[in-house]
Amino acid sequence: MQFSFRMPVAVQILLCLAKFDGVFKLTSNFLASSVNVNPVIIRKTLGQLKAAGLVEVAAGVGGAKLLRTPGEITLREVFQAVEEDEDLFHIQDNPNPQCPVGRNIQQVLGKRLALVKDNMLADFAQMTLADLLADIDSAEQEHNK
């Protein structure tokens, strides 16, 4: 099973906005070159991040910027901003009601999956863009050795 790529794309956009603010004009084309996706995907994601109050997007002249510091933006906020369906897994809609497993799978597995999601979101709430920027700086130092 593959999860959505929306959150990783959104995180990468936000990290670029933090890292390159004042260095480059942060347009959808610039951001698309970092993420290596079509600028349309960047614009859609920026729209979601703007609606969540995480970024400001300059109309016409182009460019985007963070509305808060990287230390104030958690991965939980990013996830909630861009994931339209926050369910991580989809349980079969029509299991066999005559089967003891089928008739109970949604309730039984659903509770466990909800716990996994709650734990993931709690972990995401503890991680900020500043943490990831520090990791990028460390990775770049290792790369440049």
Cβ atoms 42, 63 nearer than 8 A: no
Any idea where the domains of the chain sit in the sequence? 6-143
Cα–Cα distance measured from residue 145 to residue 143, given in angstroms and rounded to the nearest whole number = 6
10 has pLDDT over 90: yes
Quote the pLDDT of residue 1: 39
> Is 0.85 topped by the overall pTM?
yes
- Angle among Cα 32, 36, 41 to the nearest 5 degrees reads 50
For domain 6-143, the CATH architecture is: Orthogonal Bundle (1.10)
Looking at per-residue pLDDT, the higher value among 126 and 58 belongs to 126
Counting Cα atoms < 13 Å in the Cβ hemisphere of 122 gives 6
Cα–Cα distance measured from residue 97 to residue 20, given in angstroms and rounded to the nearest whole number = 55
Quote the pLDDT of residue 91: 82
Q: In this predicted model, what pLDDT tens digit does every residue of 32-82 receive, in sequence order?
A: 999 999 999 999 999 999 999 999 998 766 789 999 999 999 999 999 999
DSSP state letters, 49-105? HHHTTSEEE-TTT--EEESS-GGG-BHHHHHHHH-SS--SS---SS--TTSTTTTTH
